[in-house]
Structure 1
């Protein structure tokens, strides 16, 4: 029997995704933010310069956090998901070896997260991050 992982309740649910084509190459990022009580949804997808997949994923997370900062009221909580273990472990400080090349992204993401009193960042497999992935793959 599988154990169920219960997610903490949150005012905002958010997901991000980033990709490059080729890798390294042109980056594209996407995010979706949904208010649990009202259903208000903010979603976006856009190009994000050149880089590799870690650049794209980190840029997507940072853009999502910036969007969340615009909409989240004081005292509200956020549950944030993404399918990049590298980025999520790096931000949370659980990576076996933090990548020095990502340190500027890590610092920016952590600084934005510090503004929120109650947040939960977690990894999900790609198939459970479909909304953000579908936004990412829409034609520009």
Structure 2
């Protein structure tokens, strides 16, 4: 069974919190990269990003590029506190501060520069929350990433609605 980052204890949201859902897609993998993100401002205004990278990369690089693009956009709009949601276990595990009782995951050398770039952007905010979410809860960002590549949206099913294998 896949292990996912531990869910943190709920804490009150900082004032002015921006909510970001981000996703990246590489078609094929590796291949062209599409970046998608939704941003919800504290006043309820919604923003979306659907971008294509001119470079070829893997799905993990696309996830990182989508996060960085979303952080840059939020920062340009004046965000000081962000809650980032992603369905990429690697992204969340690599960017979370190490916990005392757990061993930090091994860094991915070929993506080190992108993780450093993401950390630099996260450091520009006064408050940052990172949270892994299941794929079916990130479908809007996934649709934007796939749309950037001209690919149709995936039909995301809630795990309880999937057909059971026999």
What pairs with 1:1-140 in structure 2 (closer than 5 Å)?
A: 6=10, 8-10=12-14, 11-36=17-42, 38-48=43-53, 49-73=55-79, 76-94=80-98, 95-138=104-147, 140=150
Measure, in 2, the Cα distance between the counterparts of 1:45 and 1:120: 23
**What TM-score results when the alignment is normalised by the length of structure 1?**
0.86
Q: Which structure has the greater CA radius of gyration?
A: 2
Give the number of aligned pairs.
Answer: 135
Q: Deviations over 1:86-131 (max 9, x none)?
A: 1121122555211111110111111111111111011111111122
Task: For structure 2, list consecutive stretches of 5 or more residues without a partner in the other structure.
Answer: 1-8, 99-103, 151-166
Measure, in 2, the Cα distance between the counterparts of 1:110 and 1:17: 17
Is the Cα contact below 8 Å between 2:34 and 2:147 reproduced in 1?
Answer: no
Measure, in 2, the Cα distance between the counterparts of 1:99 and 1:93: 16
Higher strand share: 1
**What TM-score results when the alignment is normalised by the length of structure 2?**
0.73
Measure, in 2, the Cα distance between the counterparts of 1:85 and 1:93: 14
Q: CA RMSD in A?
A: 2.1
Task: For structure 1, list consecutive stretches of 5 or more residues without a partner in the other structure.
Answer: none
Q: Which moved more, 1:116-125 or 1:128-137?
A: 128-137
Q: Which moved more, 1:62-71 or 1:84-93?
A: 84-93
